[in-house]
Chain A
Amino acid sequence: MRYTQFTPYDIVLLAQGLGVTIALFLGTSLIGLLIGTLWGVVRFYRVPVLTEVMTFIAELLKNSPVLVQLFLVFFGFPAFFRINVTPTEAAVITLSANTAAFVYVIAVAAIQSIGREQIEAARVFGLTRWQVLRHVIATQATAFAIGPLIALLVNQLQVTSLISVIGVVDLTKIGNILNLRTLQPFIVWTVVGALYYLAAKLLAFFGTRLENRLRAHTAWRGL
């Protein structure tokens, strides 16, 4: 058997890579969703200083390449803060922060999409800001945000491939390894691409189902 030939074990390698990619994607998406939503709530409360600081950070994260952010965390943290980060830690920090910034933008838009007059009505009847957020805004804002959020997450899934550059052994990194060994780029990258495609399609499928369920109330779709 020549060293350059494919072996059955390559399938295991690919599965491991896919596992790392999906695990990182799910983890960072969850953290990003939590932090981004929290930022949106802070902005809803118009917390002074904090709101401005967060808007500034979100702007930085949105308007610079993820790869640059990744390098800044991976090489910058040890250099400037004397904190050593493993490739996986750098990946988690960068991807979570990046997702959070975009979730924040979507959350702000979703909250703003709720008519001011409804919020005023609720306030007049004595509901606190928190009660308004929970009962009047949350449901409607979620229905508004779900479409853009799914689009964002599908995109962030592809973005995870960048972390292979700093040495995280994700699906792309496995692809790279197999490619160097077999020298069959067309086959390797087609398989890797197909796996990303399937993962993204699966994500979009469940996202759309969730969206349809949230919008089942055609009665108030006219928002």
Chain B
Amino acid sequence: MLNVENVKKAFGGVTVLDGVNLVVTPGEVVSILGSSGSGKSTLIRCINGLEKLDGGRITVDDFDVSKPKELAEARKRSGTVFQLFNLYPHMTALQNITLAPIEVLKKPKAEAEKKARDLLASVGLSDRADAYPAQLSGGQRQRVGICRALAMEPRYLLLDEVTSALDPEMTADVLAILAKLAGEGTTMVFVTHEIEFARQISDRIVFLDKGVLLVDLPTEEFFSANGGMAQPRIAQFLSKMRKD
């Protein structure tokens, strides 16, 4: 279970997260919506231990990310896919994927490479294993990014606006892969601006506004007139996003 309890985070006096609570159980797909600057990415960065909490507690399968000794275990259980891919530019796609399994999970190289090739094949990139990130398109890079996270066999996949830097066609490619993963029962925390897609794959939708978690509702209820849409802030956000 991924447990976020009353988490607070501020950057130089500006409150970014203000008492956020969230529980994700294995098998769930939870989408986090909200306008830019609402604290969605910061929440992800708190969960994977890139930001120190100013208050509250986050545990990943009971491992506390604020405790240095438990962070390593917590990180083994979550895999992150980044908005700007964050691939290692001096390594091939295959090396990008196998680095952590070999170094952190101590997998034999051959085994890690086999797994990586299987993953690449599953996202339609079997012929690009030896390409460097600079030789790949944005969509291909992000697919490698997803493989890199999956190679660690994480219990929770954290996706931080993974299609924001991609054009619509590449976005479709990446979303198709995420839909497949969701269908296979992968647990996902999905920060996104792709509202319609979130609606299709999510079990629950969470809405963040100025660092406050406004609602946390099952998907159908979130989009119903007397559920999430009853909140003026959410109705306003959704109508604006749909117009674009």
Chain A interface residues toward B at CB < 8 A:
115, 117-118, 120-127, 131, 135-136, 139-140, 143, 217, 219-223
Contact = CB atoms under 8 A, between A and B. Distances in A.
A122 B84 contact: no
B82 A117 contact: yes
Interface residues of B, number: 27
A122 B49 CA distance: 12
Nearest to B75: A126
Given A124-B48, A125-B152, A219-B135, 11 more contacts: A118-B86, A118-B88, A124-B75, A125-B79, A125-B99, A125-B100, A217-B90, A219-B131, A220-B89, A220-B132, A222-B134
A135 B76 contact: no
Interface of B: 48-50, 72, 75-76, 79-80, 82, 84, 86-90, 99-100, 103-104, 131-135, 148-149, 152
A28 B14 CA distance: 51
A222 B90 CA distance: 10
Contacts of B86: 115, 117-118, 120-121
B51 to A, nearest CB: 10
Contacts of B89: 118, 140, 220, 222-223
Contacts of A125: 75, 79-80, 99-100, 104, 148-149, 152
Contacts of A221: 134
B82 A122 contact: no
B104 A120 contact: no
B82 A123 contact: no
A134 to B, nearest CB: 9
Contact of A121 (B72, B80, B103, B134): B80
| Top 8 A-B pairs, shortest CB-CB distance | A219-B132, A125-B100, A121-B86, A126-B104, A220-B89, A117-B86, A126-B75, A124-B48
A127 B99 contact: yes
B90 A139 contact: yes
Contacts of B72: 126
B87 to A, nearest CB: 8
11 contacts: A121-B82, A123-B49, A126-B75, A126-B100, A127-B100, A127-B103, A135-B103, A143-B90, A220-B134, A221-B134, A222-B134
Contacts of B134: 219-222
Contact of B88 (A124, A136, A143, A222): A136
Contacts of A140: 89-90
A140 to B, nearest CB: 5
